[in-house]
Amino acid sequence: MIIVGVDGSVAARAAVEWAAGDAFRMRVPLRIVHAVDRSPYQIGKYPNAALPDVLLGEGHRILREAQALVRERRPTVEVETRDIEGTPAEVLREQAEDATEIVVGSRGLGGFAGALLGSVSMHVAGHVHCPVVVVRGEHRPTYGQVVVGVDDSLECEPALAYAFEQAKLRGSALRVVHAWQLPVHAFAPEASYDMDEVRTAQHQVVRDRMATFSQDYPQVKLVEDVQSADPVNALTDASERADLLVVGSHGRGALGSMLLGSVSRGILHHARCPVAVVRA
């Protein structure tokens, strides 16, 4: 099941459309979730007793509109709605337990909105085990290309698997981006490199990573993109003409934002297309 969080914002509407399309392609049900967060209104000596009813009413309206959008765009998708009390981060983490993926808009009105360029998104993408997709609100043309970032670690394989499946379902090409940088030897300026050997080795990294998946997905057209560049810059540039950018997460910290790792955090801030963060 795909879970999409909504709050009535433009970005949330885009997230619903994206999630409905993915549910249609994957042939799985879609659950639209709205978080009813009363905590900001319960501060003070005399809280407003009428506010809970107002919040619930607004949540029901938002859910009805989102459900109507799904039925208009993807009428064959099985869809349900839930109004759940709690903070957005808590609600999304609980929903992730039975989710194929979670989809959220990048900016919004508050609720899920606090969005994925902020603490909610970083927390959710850093803690849940299913892919988290961040969708921006602006309309973009379809480019027929999925982009995935890879490196020489085994931890990027879940992201590769997700990207190959997305490319297959969409009938898209898959651009595999591997950005590498020479190590900085501040105390060994005499160190030298055979750049041809370095480039050959970096291309082999990509081929090794793609070998197994290429056999399983022979219908996916692959584009090998190996460059000497900062990974965030390389992936941001590639996102200009992509329908989806997929990144893994190599973070090790105890906090949600740290669990994402610097590249995935940077991509969430700068990418031009929807971003899927896939944890190992």
The answer as to whether 149 is a domain residue is yes
The answer as to whether 76 is a domain residue is yes
**Number of domains making up the chain:** 2
Q: What are phi and psi of 201, to 5 degrees?
A: -65, -40
- CATH code of the domain containing 248: 3.40.50.12370
pLDDT of residue 208: 76
Amino acid identity, position 190: E
The answer as to whether 140 is a domain residue is no
The alpha carbon torsion through 223, 228, 234, 238 (nearest 10 deg) reads -20
The answer as to whether 36 is a domain residue is yes
- Is residue 63 located within the same domain as residue 153? no
Per-residue pLDDT tens, the chain, 280 aa: give them: 999 999 888 888 999 999 999 999 999 999 999 988 766 555 554 455 555 667 778 888 999 999 999 999 999 999 999 999 888 878 888 898 889 999 988 865 444 443 344 456 566 666 788 999 999 888 889 999 999 998 877 778 899 999 999 999 999 999 999 887 665 554 455 555 566 666 677 667 777 778 888 889 999 999 989 888 888 999 999 999 999 999 987 644 333 333 456 787 788 888 899 999 998 7
CA distance 21 to 37: 28
The alpha carbon torsion through 138, 236, 215, 21 (nearest 10 deg) reads -10
Domain termination residue (choose one: 135, 154, 174): 135
pLDDT of residue 250: 61
DSSP string, 29-63: -EEEEEEE--GGGS-SSS--TTHHHHHHHHHHHHH
CA distance 124 to 256: 7
Domain termination residue (choose one: 105, 135, 165): 135
- Is residue 114 located within the same domain as residue 175? no
The answer as to whether 79 is a domain residue is yes
pLDDT of residue 260: 54
The answer as to whether 107 is a domain residue is yes
CA distance 48 to 68: 32
- Is residue 14 located within the same domain as residue 128? yes
Burial, 141: exposed, middle or buried (Cβ in 10 Å; 0-12, 13-18, 19+)? Answer: exposed
Quote the domain boundaries for residue 240.
145-279
Count other Cβ atoms within 10 Å, centred on residue 161: 17
- Is residue 126 located within the same domain as residue 180? no
- Is residue 120 located within the same domain as residue 150? no
- CATH code of the domain containing 49: 3.40.50.620
Q: Which residues contact 186 (CB under 8 A, 6 or more apart)?
A: none
- Is residue 105 located within the same domain as residue 153? no
Residue 60 CA: distances (Å) to CA of 7, 186, 250: 10, 60, 38
DSSP state of 27: T
- Is residue 157 located within the same domain as residue 109? no
pTM for this one? 0.83
- Is residue 166 located within the same domain as residue 122? no
Query: Which strand (E) or helix (H) includes residue 21?
Result: helix 10-26
The answer as to whether 25 is a domain residue is yes
- Is residue 81 located within the same domain as residue 155? no
Q: Write out the two tokens for 106.
A: 């990048």
Domain termination residue (choose one: 116, 135, 154): 135
Give the residues across from 180 on adjacent strands: 228
- Is residue 172 located within the same domain as residue 219? yes
CA distance 263 to 235: 9
